[in-house]
Amino acid sequence: MQLARAFVAAAVTFLILDIIWLTFIAFEIFQREVGGLLRAEPNLIAAGAFYVIYMFGLTVLAIAPAVRAGSLAMALWLGAVLGLTAYGTFDLTSLAVIEGWTVTATVVDMIWGVTGTSAAAVVG
């Protein structure tokens, strides 16, 4: 039950932060950097699947070990590692294989992945 509550807390935190991030910061950057590659409207089913899978991974790989250790610092660190790994995988692969994907988009999104994921892990 404790991990279910942690999952929900992390998911709500990440979703709120991601909406703020996408709406007020990232949209302009991504529009400028890779605008021609973006959909006119996001695929909400794919986005929802990402959130569920990502929060499951965050709960299992970062939050649960931190809860067992009783350590917010561990939640922060493991969340940052997961964020760097997941967002790095997407962004660096995109940079490698998608014509028009930029270094700026890669770096900005990876920083967000570390920041948002570690924040959600701590709240979870």
pLDDT grade for 92, boundaries at 50, 70 and 90: very high
Model confidence at 40: pLDDT above 90: no
What integer pLDDT is reported at residue 68 of this predicted model?
Answer: 96
Model confidence at 38: pLDDT above 90: no
Model confidence at 122: pLDDT above 90: yes
- How many beta carbons lie within 10 A of that of residue 70, not counting itself? 7
> What's the burial of 113, exposed, middle or buried (CB within 10 Å: 0-12/13-18/19+)?
buried
pLDDT grade for 36, boundaries at 50, 70 and 90: confident
- Span 114-121, mean pLDDT? 98
Taking the C-alpha atoms of residue 26 and residue 106, their distance in angstroms, rounded to an integer, is 12
Q: Where are the alpha helices (DSSP H) in the chain?
A: 2-20, 27-34, 44-58, 64-69, 72-97, 103-123
- Span 82-86, mean pLDDT? 98
Apex 3 CA angle, 88 and 80, nearest 5 = 25
Model confidence at 95: pLDDT above 90: yes
Phi then psi dihedrals of residue 23, to 5 deg = -75, -45
Q: Which two tokens stand for residue 103?
A: 């270094």
Global pTM reads: 0.93
Q: CB–CB of 117/86 below 8 Å?
A: yes
What integer pLDDT is reported at residue 98 of this predicted model?
Answer: 95
Q: CB–CB of 56/8 below 8 Å?
A: no
- Span 92-96, mean pLDDT? 97
Q: Which two tokens stand for residue 20?
A: 């703020």
